[in-house]
Chains A and B, each alone.
Chain A
Amino acid sequence: MNAVTTRSEGVEPTPTPTQRPRRTLTRRRRRAIGISVIMVLVGGWLALTLTGSVRALFLPGPGDLARAYGELLPGLPRDIWDTLVTRIIPGFLIGGTMGLLLGMAMATSGLVSAAVDPIVEILRPLPPLALIPLLILWFGIGGTTQVALIAFGSFIILVVTAYEAVRNVPPIYLQAATTLGATQRQVFRRVVLPAIVPDIFGGIRVAVAASFGYAVAAELIGAQSGLGYRLVLARRYLLTENIVAILVVIAILAFLADQVVRGLNRRLTGWKPRA
């Protein structure tokens, strides 16, 4: 009897409640399938372009791309710097920080919520891209417009994320903390903050991806440098290979940014049970 009890009570990792059927493939198989599909697509691209069955104006081949990179390469570091370092990063940091702080303040203070909630609700459905003409009038085409747009977009995403995250902290954690003697301040610092980190990272991933979109869109319309500006120039001179080359650069940058956020997330929320 006793032995049985002991065994039934041992340490056991909680089994995953519902295994999604998609997961039944092994990791290796999944990777193999993914790579095969990419290889088929690349093969199709090579076949179409090298045989000359599609005009390079619509789909450039590998030779065109290589030439494009040769032409773009000297200016590329500068364009990446302008778009990423002077626009996306400051815009995201300014807007994201303000959004996080205001969202948490709204969720914890009735006064702040009453004051700010109507404004946020009015601004939230507004497509941020619609602001570009106004922002260009205000800030011109020197880069501030992009920063402002990215900041606004990140702000809206993270204000909502932070608000919802705080509101979704399980009440049992708050009750446990207060009955253990935590003051309101201690509850916030020691329970609410760690509890919302996983949700916040979800919002950060969305906001970082959106920031790339806002940056390029605002550069397409009003800028004198940056990756989006290069896209406009390339279209103007019908240099399709340059367009594709720049798209690849943007995709790589956005992918790397997402990897950074995911890596941080894994480090900070390793405690969370994962399916």
Chain B
Amino acid sequence: MSTPKIACLQVRKAYPRDRQADLVALERTDLEVRAGEFVCLVGPSGCGKSTLLFMVAGLIEPTDGRIEVDGQEVRGPDRSRGVVFQPDATFPWLDVRRNVEFGPSLAGLSSDEVRRIGQRAIDLVGLTDYASLLPRELSGGMKKRVDIARVIANEPDLLLMDEPFGALDAMTKQRLQDELLQIWERERRTVLFVTHDLEEALYLGSRVLVMGLEPNSIRSVLAVDLPRPRTPTMRTEPQFQALRRTLLEHLDAGAPVSAASKSGAS
């Protein structure tokens, strides 16, 4: 059996608090993602889905357990694991081109090479005509494209996306979802995608991992057996709606075990 791309083994994250029990962001969780897979993580706010993603990125250290990528333990961030964040992370002092070239330019390549890689990523996300604009001249959707192109330019093995389209309007969101899928179809990089939008998870993912609260962990897995490439019309088909219903049931099952008895608690 080949090594999984991502393997989380009994990973747990807890923050110590004064005179209180630790704040548990993520209870012991196992996770395996195969190379080339598009996996979505869904769950209610505060269930630890972003914490899990940040730990795979190496931005947060697990309290317990172990995270491996290609069989190697994750120790800190690395250019092979690109992250697209929810808030705008473009550097406002650089134009679109210099933003996208940021990763390659750190690696000691020739300036021609950096330029070529950057141009390819810029073309890929449709920013060709906007390469010389500053972030303040761009709309939210365009800035998100810059974020994506900047990560793609680094050619990461693993694409980690933390609610990347969460702050966008519905139509821009759908467009960027389709563009992301096209890029994924072409390059087949492994994607771990955190979202709280169920339709987004089903439309993009091959598998949807459902997380719950108290304990904060992965509760169930839903295989999304919709054909690829996915097309916008699929969203309205009965099969999609049925999956959506199943996913909702999974999410309800993931509610806090004693939710009814302490509805006042957050």
Contacts and interface: CB of A to CB of B under 8 A. Distances in A.
A109 interface: no
Contact count band on A: 20 to 34
Nearest to A181: B79
Interface string B71-113: 0000011110111010101011110000000110011000000
B172 A9 contact: yes
Contacts, number: 95
A11 B91 contact: no
A176 B89 contact: yes
A11 B138 contact: yes
B142 interface: yes
Nearest to A7: B171
A5 B177 CA distance: 13
Contacts of A197: 93
A181 B107 contact: yes
Given A10-B139, A181-B79, A181-B154, A175 B85 contact: yes
Contacts of A186: 106
A9 B175 contact: yes
A5 B103 CA distance: 30
A8 B141 CA distance: 9
B106 A195 contact: no
B172 A178 contact: no
Nearest to A178: B77
Nearest to A6: B175
Contacts of A182: 106
Interface in B112-145: 130, 133-139, 141-142
Contact of A11 (B76, B142, B150): B142
Interface string A182-208: 110010001100110100000000000
A183 B76 CA distance: 11
Interface in A90-133: none
B139 A9 contact: yes
A190 B77 contact: no
A272 to B, nearest CB: 7
Best-buried of A172, A176, A181 by chain B (most CB within 10 Å): A176
A177 interface: yes
Interface string A139-156: 000000000000000000
A176 B81 CA distance: 11
B77 A179 contact: yes
Contact of B102 (A175, A190, A271): A190
B171 A179 contact: no
A195 B85 contact: no
- The interface centre, meaning the residue of B92, B142, B172 with most chain A CB atoms within 10 A of its CB, is B92
Contacts of A14: 136-139
20 contacts: A5-B172, A9-B171, A11-B139, A11-B142, A13-B136, A14-B136, A172-B85, A173-B89, A176-B83, A177-B102, A178-B59, A179-B58, A179-B79, A179-B83, A180-B102, A181-B154, A190-B106, A191-B91, A272-B136, A273-B136
Interface of A: 4-5, 8-14, 172-173, 175-183, 186, 190-191, 194-195, 197, 269, 271-273
